Amino acid sequence: MIEQLEVLKSTVTALPNERDAILFTGDLQGRATRPSDRLPGRLLGELLAEELKVLASHGAIPALDRIGVVLVGDLYARPEMDKRGGTGDVRSVWKAFANCCRWVVGVAGNHDMFGPNFLEAHVKALSQQPHIHLLDGQAVNVDSLKVAGLSGIVGNPRRPFRRTEADFTSVVKRLSDDEPDLLLMHDGPDVPGYNFKGWTSVRQALEVSKPTVVVRGHAYWRNPLFALRNNTQVLNVDSRAILAVRATDG
């Protein structure tokens, strides 16, 4: 199946001075179909990193050393591309962004591996690479941004990157109580009244916390941005790439 990645560019005023832009993306479950790519084609995230280089070289976006990248998981696609998704090694995508941009911070999706299997040691090894911050229940400072993250989804905790609903919600509450600037998660809150999938318990945990910006994936929403009752903004980047560019004065 051939699909297109929706790439949006938006202007914001609240980026710290160190950066001119942040790229937010997730659920890039595709591969290249360009004839120049030998099968199996490179993962869609690797192509997106290449595309950033082209756009920056033309001046269409800020220089790459002034762009931070936020990944919210599920970056793999089966080599056969006979159906969407599949579970596999996504290190090449993280490294592609880390090699060209200022930093990469993010969480794992339920389909992501960071080596030939789900070993914790592989996750640790990637997290120790320069400019890479893979989060699962903790926070990190990148430039002057405090970013917290929770990998995986609500599910059977005996499987990798899954927590019970109560556990997932309590980690969300703990992380949001620490007042991060960005709170990343793969699974996440629902939106009442819109039938946009997610967890009511996670939304309620966020709504009793200080306002923040939540970035999530895992479930496609037609509208990418919603405000919760406490003014927390929820940005859903499932199958999207959104480049938030700092507004220039005047």
Are 243 and 48 spatial neighbours (Cβ–Cβ below 8 Å)? no
Are 93 and 71 spatial neighbours (Cβ–Cβ below 8 Å)? yes
Q: What is the DSSP letter of 64?
A: G
Residues sharing a CB contact under 8 Å with residue 75, sequence separation 6 or more, in sequence order: 26, 27, 28, 29, 43, 44, 45, 90, 93, 94, 109, 112
Instruction: Kindly tell me which of 176 and 239 has the beta carbon lying closer to Fe ion.
Output: 239
Is residue 26 within a helix (H) or strand (E), and if so which, with residue range?
strand 21-26
Token digits of residue 32:
């290249």
Least gap, CB of 73 to Fe ion (angstroms): 6
Pick the binder of Fe ion from 26, 30, 109, 149 (CB under 5 A): 109
Number of residue whose CB is nearest Fe ion: 218
Least gap, CB of 247 to Fe ion (angstroms): 32
Least gap, CB of 208 to Fe ion (angstroms): 26
Site for Fe ion contains 91 (CB under 5 A)? no
How many Å apart are CA 132 and CA 202, to the nearest integer? 27
Site for Fe ion contains 110 (CB under 5 A)? yes
Pick the binder of Fe ion from 102, 131, 133, 218 (CB under 5 A): 218
Instruction: Kindly tell me which of 64 and 135 has the beta carbon lying closer to Fe ion.
Output: 135
Site for Fe ion contains 74 (CB under 5 A)? yes
Are 217 and 74 spatial neighbours (Cβ–Cβ below 8 Å)? yes
Q: What is the DSSP letter of 43?
A: B
Mark the segment that binds Fe ion (CB under 5 A) among 1-9, 14-22, 102-110, 172-180: 102-110
Mark the segment that binds Fe ion (CB under 5 A) among 31-39, 44-52, 61-69, 74-82: 74-82
| Site of tokens 């309590």 | 170
Least gap, CB of 128 to Fe ion (angstroms): 25
Site for Fe ion contains 112 (CB under 5 A)? no
Site residues (CB under 5 A) for Fe ion? Answer: 74, 109-110, 218
